[in-house]
Amino acid sequence: MSDINRLIDAINRARENSNESVLATVVKVEGSAYRRPGARMLISQYNGTQGTISGGCLESHVAKKAWWHTQSAPTVLCYNTALDDDQNEFFEPANNNSSAMYPKQNETSLEFGLGCNGKVYILLERLAHHYDNPLMTLFDTVNQTGQGGVSATIIAHNTDPAKAHIQIGDRATLSPSGAIDNGIANPQLAHYVSQQLQSSLDAQRSTHYTFEIDLENDKTAIVDVFFDYIAPQQRLVIFGAGDDALPLANMAALMNMHVTVIDSRPQFATKQRFNKADEVLNIALDAPFDSAKLLDNAHIVVMTHSITQDRYWLSLALSSSPAYIGQLGPRYRTEKLLAEIKEGMADVHQIENNRDKLHYPVGLNIGANTPESIAVSICAQLVECMARTGVRDPKATHVTGVHNTNSQLTPDNPEDDVTIYIED
C-alpha cells in the first residue's frame, strides 16, 4: 500500500466517523530535510496521525499545534532545524498583512536543535468532516486511475489577502484526465497557475513558482505557489517466482510499491509463497492477457532463471512502455537473449526505444551475492530510477533526492530555488 493509499484510508475513516482533520504538507525545504516537499501527515480529531513530515522530529509538535493554528484559515509554519538545542527558534505563521513572504522569527524556543542545517515549511489546512474539496477528489482520482495529477497551492505572498484576493491555501488542481478545478480567486494568478499546471504534470515533479501579480495603483504582489505532483502508486512486476524473488517482492512491498509476481510454473506462483505481493499470477507462455495494462509505466524485473521464460518475458517487456526493465544474469546472457528476440521480431524499433530503460545485470553494483543482498541492490536501483523520472523543466527547480540541495542556494539567498514567471 502506497503513502497515498494509506492517506486515503485514513481520510475515509475520518470521513465515515464525521471527524474533522488537519492535513499537514511539507511545501518547501531549504537546506537538508528528511522528507521532501509533498510529504503529508493527516492529523485526525480522534484517530491520531497517519504519515510523516520528518524523521519523527516534528510530528508531535505539529499535531499538538495544528488545531490552534488552523482555527481561522490555512497557515504555513517554518521549522528551523539548523541550530543547536540552545539556539533553535520557532517560526510563526504569516497569514496576516505582512510584507514578508514567509513566517518571521520570534523568541520562542522549542528545542528543534537537530543539527540538520535546514528549514522545513509546512502547510496546515483544516479538513471539514465532509472532506468535499478538490484535493481530496484529486487523491481519489489518482488512486483509482493509477495516473498522476497536480495540485497548485498558494503558500506565501507579500500583499493584503483581502484586497488582492490571494489567500494561503487556495489552490487549483489538474486531474489525470486534464480537467482543471481552479479555486484561486485572483483572476490573473488563476490564469498564470492554469497555464503552468500541464507543464508540471508532464515533468512529473513537484516544483515552486513565484508569480508577479499586478495590483491597483501600479503596485505588484509576489506570490509563491507550490506545484505538487501527486504520483500514483509505483508498480513492480516480477517475472519469476523462484526463491530469490521472495526478498525482492517483500522489500518492494516495504517500499509501498504495488507488487505483481508472474510465473508460468503453478507450483511457484502461489499467494501462499508471496504473501506480501498484491497479485500472484500463474500465466502460461503465449497465453493471452492484457500486457499493456500490466506493464505500461511499470517497473519490470525478469528473473525466472529459465532461458525460454526469460526470452519470452523480456520480449514482452521490451515491446511495452515500461518505466524500467531489469534482467537478472550475466551481461553476455542478456546480450544473447536480445539477439534472439530481435531475430524473431519483424519490427525492432520498440525494442530499441526501450534499450535505455533496460538494466543488465539488474541492480546497483554493491557486491551483492545472496538473494537478500541482490534484492537490496535491485530496490536501490529502482529508487534511483524513480528519483530520475521526469523531464526537467528549465524554469523550475526539481525536488529530488534525500537531503538533496541546489549547490547555488545560500542561507542569505533562500529564494534562489524559485523562478519569477511573468506573463507577456
Segments making up each domain of the chain, as ranges: 3-127, 136-232, 235-388
Q: Which amino acid is at 71?
A: Q
Residue 349 pLDDT:
81
3-state secondary structure of 168: coil
Q: Are strands 171-174 and 90-91 parallel, antiparallel or unpaired?
A: unpaired
The rounded mean pLDDT for the chain is: 84
**Residue 399 scores a pLDDT above 50:** no
Residue 211 pLDDT:
96
Q: Which residues neighbour 150 within 8 Å (Cβ) at sequence distance 6 or greater?
A: 173, 174, 197, 200, 201, 227, 228, 229, 230
User: What cell numbers appear for 294 in the block?
Assistant: 500490466
| Cβ burial 193-216 (10 Å sphere, 16+ → b, else e) | beebbebbbebebbbbbbbebeee
Express each pLDDT in 23-34 by its tens digit.
999 999 988 788
Residue 106 pLDDT:
43
3-state secondary structure of 126: strand
Express each pLDDT in 158-215 by its tens digit.
999 999 999 999 999 999 999 999 999 999 999 999 999 999 999 998 999 999 999 9
Alpha-carbon gap, residue 235 to 81, rounded angstroms: 34
Class of domain 136-232 as given by CATH = mainly beta
Residue 387 pLDDT:
83
Express each pLDDT in 253-311 by its tens digit.
999 999 999 999 999 999 999 999 999 999 999 888 888 889 999 999 999 999 999 99
List the alpha helices (DSSP H) in 257-330: 291-295, 307-318
Among 324, 273, 334, 330, CA closest to 301? 324
**What's the mean pLDDT in 46-69?**
89
Residue 348 near residue 357 (C-beta atoms within 8 A): no
**Residue 3 scores a pLDDT above 80:** no
CATH 3.40.50.720 fits 235-388, yes or no: yes
Residue 235 pLDDT:
96
Express each pLDDT in 355-380 by its tens digit.
899 999 999 999 999 999 999 999 99
Residue 112 pLDDT:
55
Cα–Cα separations (whole angstroms), residue 91 to 150, 168, 188, 296 = 28, 16, 30, 45
Alpha-carbon gap, residue 214 to 240, rounded angstroms: 60
